[in-house]
Amino acid sequence: MIDRIITSGTFSLDGGTWEVDNNIWLVGDAREVVIIDAAHDAAAIAERVGGRTVKAVLCTHAHNDHINAARSLAELTGAPIRLHPADQVLWEQQYGDEVAYEALSDGEKIAVGGVTLEILHTPGHAPGAVCVHAPDLGALFSGDTLFKGGPGATGRSYSSFDTIIDSIRNRLLPLPPETVVHTGHGESTTIGAEGPHLEEWITRGS
């Protein structure tokens, strides 16, 4: 039901560029999937999809390293690109007004492969950042909102440390502690492993 592809490329913002490895998650079954974050290499992602129907290309946020393969994947698969519209300013940095997406909304539910995915708006790393909760699978796809060891970075434009802490505290930590957190970069973790460290993060970030 859950498959990971790791692709490599660059992340650019505020005049800087960094080498990054991204996790792309496929969720579904033998017939259909959604792609969570379309990073760097559309051909490699499409190869992993194979002959399955892609119901949507879900973007956890619009930093370029999470969306730079979205247009190509949409063209290859015919699937809609989905993004929270609060990230419009970041989307335009990559695509201008050339590529359309369908708006994601907080609380929206998406059915795929016999499971239901729920969209949680979790701003902070980016204004339109979302996490994708799959309660049927005991999983959360956190993009760059929550990592093993702490919250996502908030030192660049359109980000806020206080906001990301509020998002994690109010939207993520109430989830069952055994929920597996599949991140946008690096290793997975669990809600239970990260929750006890919230106050440490606040002290470190303040």
Per-residue pLDDT of 143-196, as tens digits, reads: 999 999 999 999 999 999 999 999 999 999 999 999 999 999 999 999 999 999
Contacts 24+ apart (CB under 8 A), 43-49: 43/72, 44/5, 44/7, 45/5, 45/7, 45/69, 45/73, 46/73, 46/76, 46/77, 48/3, 48/5, 49/77
CB 53 within 8 A of CB 80: no
pLDDT of residue 203: 87
Q: Which whole number is the average pLDDT over 76-97?
A: 97
CA distance 37 to 169: 23
pLDDT at residue 206 greater than cutoff 70: no
Question: Distance from CA of residue 137 to its chain's centroid?
Answer: 17
CA proximity to 182, closest of 37, 45, 52, 43:
37
Q: Which whole number is the average pLDDT over 58-71?
A: 98
**Residues forming a β-bridge with 143:** 183
| Segment 124-148, tens digit of pLDDT | 999 999 999 999 999 999 999 999 9
Angle between helices 42-49 and 70-77 (to 10 degrees): 40
Instruction: Give the other-Cβ count within 10 Å of 67's Cβ.
Output: 27
CB 121 within 8 A of CB 133: no
CB 165 within 8 A of CB 202: yes
pLDDT of residue 177: 97
Instruction: Give the other-Cβ count within 10 Å of 134's Cβ.
Output: 24
